[in-house]
Amino acid sequence: MISRIVVSLLVVLAWAPAMGQDVRAPSSVGEIRLSFAPVAKRVAPSVVNVYAARVVENRFPMFDDPIFRRFFGGSPREQVQRSLGSGVIVDPSGLVVTNFHVIENADQVRVSLADKREFEADIVLKDQHSDLAVLRLKDARERFAAIELGDSDALQVGDLVLAIGNPFGVGQTVTHGIVSAVARTQVGITDYQFFIQTDAAINPGNSGGALVDLSGRLVGINTAIFSRSGGSQGIGFAIPVNMVRGVIASAQGGSAVVRRPWLGAKLQAVTPEIADSLSLKRPVGALVSSIAPRSPAARAGMRTGDLVVSVDGQEVDDANAFDYRFATKPLGGQAVIGVLRGGRELKLTVPLESLPEIARDETLIRVRSPLLGAKVANLSPALADELRMDIDAKGVVVTDVENGSTAQSFGLQKGDIVVSINNAKIETTQDLIRALSQPGRLWRLTIQRGGQQISAVFSG
């Protein structure tokens, strides 16, 4: 019935000019509900188009053979890969939030404003965990129209929302719908499985665009759709703005990475069988399966077997919901975590601390070797978390591999841990540099990848 009333009111508004009535701005909250135009007009200047480009080489394997190049000539051809997305201005100085997957591996990023002006943009921060990134407009000497941030926790199922972005590159587009769900945790898009679901039409190119409420406040960043055809089927997902806030704050503070609290405990889903064993009415909460020594969880008195049910009074339905609630807490304070233990609910006070960090000593390898062109660093829990590795991992890790480098041709990948070189154990980047400085043209390299050790012999 409500949808029919809204449609009828929109039809009346569409016919108003033909009936000789003057078009005017709504003068009351009740009249605003008759049209989305005031909201769209207010928000549109804050929503931008993001164009990302990456230069890649189309390598023919025979080009690696010097004899082939000598007799047949030729060289790898370069190709420019482009991606299109949307973004939202969140700071008048020219900070723009978009999705990580829109600018991933980009060599060049351009931002087009709603008034058609274009700016080159620097990538200030990339956070693969949340699929968010922050850009800064270059040579910007003005104050831009920044959107107001709302409160995603205040959203309710059934609330009307607008999605604004650049679908299929056709230009800025506004669609409307309702909030279909507020805490989708089984989507599988990012590390933090906690999304706003909406039936507002979202299509390719909308990624990074704004989901706003009827007050024009940002409540989410449109990120993904469920589709069998590639187009909108009424199931779209947005990252809640309360997650976006922390990413913006990190960028404004000058950090290139997002620092979040860590618990130091592994949580698992509560199955119906576990719920029965704990005498729960339904499978809810997150079960503590292990605790790291000296971690915030350990110091707060958390135990294996505890059932986490709340964070600062907000209920936790599963492990994904806990991860989101805990990750959005500001560093430096404390969180009160409710747990069930032996049939009693306890309140544990957990300090909000970031993962431990050590001197990374990040180094680009320039020595002629299988690692030539690889960037390596000393592993710490913080770096392991950034690379989406086990935080207990230790040693020297490959953090990047240059395109077309020797390291890439030998198959080295980001996240590989260098275990040994010519039987010399590698524990720090200085160990690695010393091992590579030894004379010789035969290299015995052992790396760890995905929990497995791989050994190979290289010559050259």
Provide the residue ranges of all domains of the chain, joining segments of one domain with +.
2-34, 46-137, 148-252, 265-351, 363-459
Max distance between CA atoms of the chain, in angstroms, equals 89
> Residues 308-319: pLDDT tens digits?
999 999 999 999
Query: Is the Cα torsion angle 243, 247, 252, 258 positive or negative in sign?
Result: positive
Q: Partners of 457 in the beta sheet? A: 444
Reference 308, options 263, 264, 276, 338; nearest CA is 338
Residue 48 to residue 220: CA distance in whole angstroms: 15
The CA-CA-CA angle for residues 442, 446, 450, to 5°, reads 150
- Amino acid occupying residue 439: P
- Which of the pair, 10 or 443, is modelled with greater confidence? 443
Q: Given this structure, which CATH class describes domain 363-459?
A: mainly beta
> Residues 164-213: pLDDT tens digits?
998 877 888 899 999 999 988 777 777 788 899 998 888 778 899 999 99
Task: Quote the tokens at residue 199.
Answer: 């039936």
Q: Is pLDDT at 19 greater than 50 in this prediction?
A: no
Burial of 106 (0-12, 13-18, 19+ CB in 10 A): buried
CB 166 within 8 A of CB 172: yes
3 state SS of 420: strand
Q: Enumerate residues 6+ apart whose C-beta is below 8 A from 344.
A: none
Task: Quote the tokens at residue 274.
Answer: 């576990």
- Which of the pair, 277 or 336, is modelled with greater confidence? 336
Residue 386 to residue 391: CA distance in whole angstroms: 9
DSSP 63: G
Task: Judge whether 215 counts as a catalytic residue.
Answer: no
Residue 376 to residue 391: CA distance in whole angstroms: 17
Identified catalytic residue from 130, 180, 207, 405: 207
What is the predicted pLDDT for the residue at 62? 47
- Residue 250's CB is within 10 A of a number of other CB atoms, namely 19
Identified catalytic residue from 131, 199, 416, 431: 131
pTM of the entire structure? 0.77
Residue 342 to residue 331: CA distance in whole angstroms: 31
Task: Judge whether 276 counts as a catalytic residue.
Answer: no
CB 359 within 8 A of CB 236: no
CA atoms lying within 13 Å on the CB side of residue 286: 25
What is the predicted pLDDT for the residue at 76? 54
> What b/e readout covers 126-155, taking b as 16+ CB neighbours within 10 angstroms?
bbbbbbbbbbbbeebeeebebbebbebeeb
Task: Give 381's pLDDT tier (boundaries 50, 70, 90).
Answer: confident
Task: Judge whether 129 counts as a catalytic residue.
Answer: no
Compute CA distances 274 → 74, 279, 281, 339, 351, whole Å: 63, 9, 11, 15, 29
Domains 265-351 and 363-459 equal at CATH topology level: yes
Compute and round to an integer the Cα radius of gyration of the chain.
26
* CATH code for the structural domain at 265-351: 2.30.42.10
Residue 199 to residue 290: CA distance in whole angstroms: 39
Q: In the CATH hierarchy, which fold is given to the domain comprising 148-252?
A: Thrombin, subunit H (2.40.10)
Which whole number is the average pLDDT over 71-96?
77
Task: Give 231's pLDDT tier (boundaries 50, 70, 90).
Answer: low
What is the predicted pLDDT for the residue at 438? 83
The CA-CA-CA angle for residues 55, 59, 63, to 5°, reads 135
Q: Given this structure, which CATH class describes domain 46-137?
A: mainly beta
Give the percent of the chain with pLDDT over 70. 85
Task: Give 78's pLDDT tier (boundaries 50, 70, 90).
Answer: low
Identified catalytic residue from 46, 83, 86, 101: 101
